[in-house]
Amino acid sequence: MIVEVEGKSGLSSMFGEPAFSYDEVTLAEGDDDRGLAEVRARTLTPDEALVEYLEQSGMSRISKRLVSSGALDMVATAVPGIRDILVLGKVKQLERGHAADLLVLDAPAAGHAISFLQSASGLVDAVRLGPINNQARDVLELLSDPSRCQVMLVTLPEETPVNELVDTAYQLEDRVGVSLGPVVVNGCYPPLPGLDADPEAAAAEAGVALRPFEPAALAEAAQFRRERTELQREQVQRLSDALPLPQIHLPYLFEAELGPPELDRLAATFLDGVEALADPLEVEG
């Protein structure tokens, strides 16, 4: 099950589906004969999580009225982190209820991710007793158990994204105590043979006639690709030196839009990367 909390991934459009809602949708049917699992998705919002919690607590008559009146906004102002703990509490409920074999939470980006995952420890300190404290402690128990929860950070092979990822990784370990899984490096240029070839000689060998301006344009394009590939290689190496975690590399897809065929390519590459790890759930350091 894929769980979105901000609704910005664009994943629904990749499956030809409208934006995810609080209700589950099935993105791909399972096929036991082919070893394919069913894939479902949903989104989680603090308001809807609160309504569901109140309804399950026997307060369905007032639940929607509390949300529509802005009561949650007032509580969120008085108790920082309450919105995040409502979402994480629901994730914990899904995990405990075995809603799926694997829950994939599309968490917020770097800056918000720290405060999002740190909300539980903050509320444990701020609210000493009652259901909020109990919920926060349950979430902390989930986040700190590597057999139940791991964070997979995603970056691009560029200087600023790599810097942000390294900083986020150490903050997550130091301030949240969550275990880190392999790092996903997205948008890596795949190898392209022939970049060092002379355009005119290659064209003649292939029996292709080039217009006067094309050899220089092809040489310039090849040089750009070599430089970008070398830059990516340097940043990947810098990431390895700064953060001792295994990496999974996904290729840059030269497509205007990503749909099911492109998703299949990325998924296959990701699976190859996971299988190449000695133990994808074991993190050193």
- Beta carbons of 25 and 63 less than 8 angstroms apart: no
Give the mean pLDDT per block of 10 residues along the chain (285 residues).
Answer: 81 85 90 88 85 69 65 57 84 93 88 80 65 81 92 96 94 87 96 91 92 95 95 97 96 90 92 81 47
CA dist 200 and 241 (Å) reads: 41
pLDDT at 285 (0 to 100):
39
Which of 181, 188, 177 minimizes the C-alpha distance to 155?
188
pTM: 0.82
Q: 10 in the Ramachandran plot: left (φ > 0), alpha (ψ -120 to 50) or beta? A: left
pLDDT at 284 (0 to 100):
46
Q: Go through the domains of the chain in sequence order and give each one's CATH number.
A: 2-190+245-276 (3.40.50.300)
pLDDT at 76 (0 to 100):
53
CA dist 106 and 6 (Å) reads: 8
| Helices (H), ranges, 69-198 | 71-78, 82-96, 110-126, 131-143, 159-171
